[in-house]
């Protein structure tokens, strides 16, 4: 019997290493990165909120399809990134890779999890 997908979801997440610490500590630059990543991934951005946690930043972009988040540790050149989307038109991998590029990460890990709901 074929499974019927009721929800199409993809969660792309990972870590960025040896990033530019000036970018990781600047909430305004990170906000622009989240806004541009949403555009790159064909996502509908609804709102962006950030919190300066000296010296790092936590930033969340609420998108119609779910969310983008970045949490930074400039003192280590390290960040964690999540791009979670629902729907078939979104490209969370493209958004994730855009963020990696803009953080100037020299190394990164990327994981992809299906968040689909299928009914038999």
Which residues carry out catalysis? 66, 71, 86
First to last CA, the chain: 7
> What counts of helices (H) and strands (E) characterise the chain?
3, 8
* DSSP conformation letters of 54-110: TTEEEEEEEETTEEEEEEEEGGGTEEEEEEEEESSS--HHHHHHHHHHHTT-SEEEE
Q: How many CB atoms lie within 10 A of CB 78?
A: 19
């Amino acid at each position: 019997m074929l499974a019927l997908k009721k929800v199409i979801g993809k969660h792309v997440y990972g870590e960025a290493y040896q990033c530019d610490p000036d970018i990781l500590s600047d909430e305004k630059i990170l906000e622009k990165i989240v806004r541009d990543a949403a555009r790159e991934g064909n996502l509908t951005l609804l709102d962006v909120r950030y919190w300066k946690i000296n010296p790092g930043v936590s930033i969340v972009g609420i998108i119609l399809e779910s969310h983008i988040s970045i949490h930074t540790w400039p003192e280590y050149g390290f960040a964690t990134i999540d791009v979670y989307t629902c729907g078939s038109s979104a490209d969370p991998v493209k958004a994730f890779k855009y963020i990696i590029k803009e953080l100037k990460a020299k190394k990164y890990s990327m994981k992809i999890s299906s968040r689909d709901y299928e009914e038999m």
